[in-house]
Amino acid sequence: MDNLKEEIKKEENEDFSGNYIEKFQDNNAEEFFSGNLLSWEKQQDSFLFHGERATLQITVVSADILKFRHGNDGNFDDDFSYAIDPSFKPEKPRYKFEDLKNTFVIKTELLKCYITKSNLSTRISTLDGTPVLEDEKGYHWQDHKYYGGTINICTKVLHEGEKFYGLGDKTGRLNLIGTKRELWGTDCYGYGNDTDPVYKNIPFYMGQHSHIGYGIFMDNTFRSFFDFGKERSSVCSFWNQGGEMRYYYIHGPKLIDVARKYALLTGRPQLPPKWALGYHQSKWSYYPESVVRKLGEEFRSRKIPCDVIHLDIDYMDGFRCFTWDKDKFPNPARMIEDLKEQGFRTVVIIDPGIKIDKDYEVYQQGMKGDHFCQRMDGALLKASVWPGLCHFPDFTKKTTREWWATLFKGLVADGVDGVWNDMNEPATFEEGTFPNDVRHDFDGHSGSHRKGHNVYGSLMAQATCEGQKKFMKDKRPFTISRSAYAGVQRYASVWTGDNMATWEHLKLANIQCQRLAASGVSFAGSDVGGFIGSPDGELYTRWIQMAVFHPFFRTHSSGDHGDKEPWKFDKKYVDIVRQFIEMRYELLPYIYSVFHNHSLTGTPMVRSLHLEGHIDPETFYREEEFFLGDHIMICPVSEPELKSRRMYLTSGQWYNYWTDELVQGGVEITVDTPLNQIPIFIKQGAIIPKQPKMQFVDEFVFDQLALDCYKPIATTKSSVYEDSGDGYDYLRSEGYVIKSFKSTIQNDEWVITQQLEGLYDSSYQLYQLRLHGLESKPTKLEVDNIDLLDQSVFENGVLIVELPKSFKKVIII
């Protein structure tokens, strides 16, 4: 593989500081293969096939997940992972094993895995023989001449028409076919559509070439590469530059099933505080205190909803983490308390760099506790970030994560509600990141920064999350992380980094959030309006309209590129922006319910069309349309002055959100896009909960929850999840309620039923039912055998009626 050899040479031609140096290298490295089978054995649910040069271990994790490990020379690394959720406990699998003449076969309830005795190559098919994944060269490796260890490579057959998705926050086209991608977390300020690598390192992709989708998760934290037919159009390959080759095969059949199962494997998030799903306002930087207070007053006086104000690095004393600049913020606790009274939560930024300052308590503790990263000769790593020269915690050490967690006591006592981790790729000013010779504990599985780099940001986020939990007691933590490895969703939300105020970046943010959601990280968003540069009013408005439907919803900007508060634009834009942020708050019951489902099942909140369309070829290359939950489809406007746009509706029937027009799916349509609208469609039969417009989450107690019910063509299920919005009471039946609705047509009657799970009693007592899709006023409206037609109102094709929230059955004729 010529490109592989170039990457090996590139890394080998770096000295320990990461600088490129001229150095002769043999570009024709020898490749080693497992060889013929010598023997095999079974250990619990694992099979070990010993070859002449390597051992293959296959573990049946479940009926739909197989774990592959390749041990060069018969030796395996410690089976240790930061990515796999410790609580992942699948049912004990049932399978059969057959020893045939030329192959072994492992057969589960869903798939068959063949192992060839002559070379230990593998092939996976469905039970009916449909090929899904098969080795090309298969597993092989090269010795790493410069660093030691091996470069571990897998090559798979790339089938005609195969599509690939995933890999976290990668830029470029949503379908990865024909590209090569690198995972090495990078501070890529002002990145573009062709930039690679970027911030996050999620070595998980999905593929599909028949009616069966599958996923590959390569659990390895070293610098990694994925080639989806770029070098050889008939081959998909993935490799890493250290450790061992360990990967999981995840069987669909649908890609959305693959995404869900991957999320179960690497972990699901706990519910965030509900306010975290509101609108966030941020800038580098809001200071001093008077500016922050004025910001809050502007939001409230202008009636633009907002829940969260973010403070960037200038709130600190000389950029020292866990401190306040007492000149700029003389009484932060009082300021934060006053903001809370106005309905604002405060999130502060924390970076990993700890300033080298003998009078700085955090530095003193870090030195005393041996918490800072060391070079290979024992000297402490020194590198510059915002405070100047810094040391950096080794977050791969448990005691260091525990120490880091204790540092949040003061910020939590001051009333801080959430923490935003930045610069945690890790990024430094001199060389971009740590030198390769930096040593990491890796929780007792020590290694260099080559091993620790890609997981550093996730472990910082974990320690930050645990610190908030430690001191917030009965409140839920809220953490944001710029860098990430697989499994980060258990601890943090993410954003897409330092983007730009361009139309290209609006579209790119959409693709990145879809890709992240498919990669287990649904709680994601972008810097609305672009971090770098100044958007005009139209671009900012269109970005807001899209971001309303992303789980993390924040405007952020670099102050030296102009302000991006909503009111900084002409009034016509401000009014539309206000309208869409209000829409976000109206839809919070729906968004919160979608998040709850994600936290239970792992199903992505934001979904690309191919996740829903599955075998519909029209969805394979669609990038802009996406779903939020089961029932809302959105297509942002990503070009200026666009009066209409084309979009594809997946199969089924859909109601235009703005007009209530019923449209047949499975076709491309043209939709009007005046400045105050983007295409939004609601699935037939859906029931969408809405609350009144608010300036912040739980601003007031309302007495009715609106249920927008769209007439079904086929039976459709919807649900509403409710709890107190914070704390952990929801973990008990008394602390939550799930309201499950079924909407169907039975003998020309529209029937809506409700079932309840949980004992939480919402503050409102009534539903306002809004029945869409009626051609005329019904002749009968029966609620639990009581006729309420006379109490209803029929306006513009919508029937509106109030009814008790405890209803069991509604019949409309």
Let me know: does 123 contact 133? Beta carbons within 8 Å: yes
Peptide bond into 481 cis (omega under 30): no
Residue 533, sorted as left (phi over 0), alpha (psi -120 to 50) or beta, turns out to be left
Pairwise CA distance, residues 555 & 147, whole Å: 43
Distances in Å between the Cα of 30 and the Cα atoms of 140, 141, 150, 243 are 10, 8, 11, 18
Burial of 718 (0-12, 13-18, 19+ CB in 10 A): buried
- Tokens 């939020």 belong to 628
CA atoms within 13 A on the CB side of 327: 3
The b/e string for 4-29 (b: 16+ C-beta within 10 A; e otherwise) is bbebbbebbebeeebeeeeeeeeeeb
- 437 catalytic, yes or no? no
Pairwise CA distance, residues 385 & 432, whole Å: 10
- The amino acid occupying position 222 is F
Pairwise CA distance, residues 588 & 692, whole Å: 10
In DSSP terms, 215 is beta-bridged to 206, 250
- Tokens 């409309």 belong to 812
Which segments within 392-531 are labelled E, that is strand? 418-421, 439-440, 447-448, 479-481, 484-485, 493-495, 524-525, 527-528
Let me know: does 451 contact 184? Beta carbons within 8 Å: no
User: 422, 527, 624, 625: which one is catalytic?
Assistant: 422
Distances in Å between the Cα of 224 and the Cα atoms of 143, 244, 564 are 16, 12, 37
User: 64, 312, 351, 498: which one is catalytic?
Assistant: 498
Torsion over CA: 687, 692, 696, 697 (sign) = negative
**Residue of 763, 755, 776 whose CA lies nearest to 711:** 776
Please, which residues have CB within 8 angstroms of residue 201's CB and are 6 or more apart in sequence? 168, 183, 184, 185, 221, 224, 454, 455, 483, 484, 485, 486
Cα of 578 vs its chain's centroid, Å: 26
In DSSP terms, 271 is beta-bridged to none
- 498 catalytic, yes or no? yes
Let me know: does 419 contact 464? Beta carbons within 8 Å: yes
Distances in Å between the Cα of 130 and the Cα atoms of 212, 253, 794 are 8, 12, 54
- The amino acid occupying position 382 is K
Q: What share of the chain is helix, strand, coil (3-state, %, to 5)?
A: 25, 35, 45
CA atoms within 13 A on the CB side of 209: 17
CA atoms within 13 A on the CB side of 756: 15
Parallel, antiparallel, or unpaired: how do β-strands 345-350 and 418-421 relate? parallel
Rounded to 10 degrees, the C-alpha dihedral 152/156/162/167 comes to -20
Backbone torsions φ then ψ of 547, nearest 5 degrees = -65, -20
Backbone torsions φ then ψ of 151, nearest 5 degrees = -100, 120
Let me know: does 707 contact 770? Beta carbons within 8 Å: yes
What are the CB-based long-range contacts (under 8 Å, 24+) for 84-90? Answer: 84/219, 84/265, 84/266, 84/267, 84/487, 85/264, 85/265, 85/266, 85/267, 85/268, 85/487, 85/490, 87/267, 88/264, 88/265, 88/266, 88/267, 90/61, 90/62, 90/65
Please, which residues have CB within 8 angstroms of residue 574's CB and are 6 or more apart in sequence? 302, 304, 566, 567
User: 314, 425, 527, 623: which one is catalytic?
Assistant: 425
- For helices 571-586 and 588-601, the axis angle rounded to 10 degrees is 50
Q: Would you name the residues annotated as active-site residues?
A: 422, 425, 498
